[in-house]
Structure 1
Amino acid sequence: VDVNIGANPSAEGGEDEGVDDTAVKVVDIVDVFRLQEQPPFDKKQFLGFVKKYIKLLTPKLEAEKQEHFKKNIEGATKYLLGKLKDLQFFVGESMHDDGSLVFAYYKDGAADPTFLYFSFALKEIKC
């Protein structure tokens, strides 16, 4: 009895249905939230963004969060400056210049990026 049940469709003369040649690998966070990659920032541009961001965000925070934000933003800025050359910058689909940036970098040997956010700019949504 000759039964044609091979696991390799190309050996059977059929079309290869396993892989789509037009498939593109995307980073899920970038794709789902439709983030737009921005050109890299130099130190001066980045510090200018942070100053503007602090000025815009601080009044929107509750008083107790303002103090916490002011205490922690300096450390966060120094941390990001240390990684500046390795960071990718993303903004939301609307590309508003008053919005927050999303930062991504690849840890040593990692295939997928690690994303960093200014937590004070995020809104919690219950799903």
Structure 2
Amino acid sequence: MSSPTVSQDSVAALIAKFLKARGVERVFALCGGHIMPIWMRLDAEGIQIIDVRDERAAVYMAHAHSELTGQIGVALVTAGPGVTNAMTGIANAHTARASVLILSGTPPQAQENRGALQDMVHTEFVKPLTRLART
């Protein structure tokens, strides 16, 4: 049985290629269903995934990476509780003005605002603690 693949033309592939083109070598992440396509494409692009056990840890590690290397730190968390669990780390990075990029998952657009698993408006939730929040 072969492992599942994600199209090279998918949004996940574009995200991975974007990060690779900008010199991102590692991403700090906690595995979750909504982000698996991004996870698989990061791996396919040769970007190291540092698997953590808590979303706050992913953001704190991305923050530390940014401070220690001068490069952008990237954290990848799943939708809903993944984002809410990351909020303390996001607030800390924002206060320190660290160069940190937080990527999160979301349910498919067809399921938006219909009670899908982990469906919430992430951008409005994180906006007060970020310089930019977009979907």
Higher helix share: 2
TM-score by length of 2: 0.27
TM-score by length of 1: 0.28
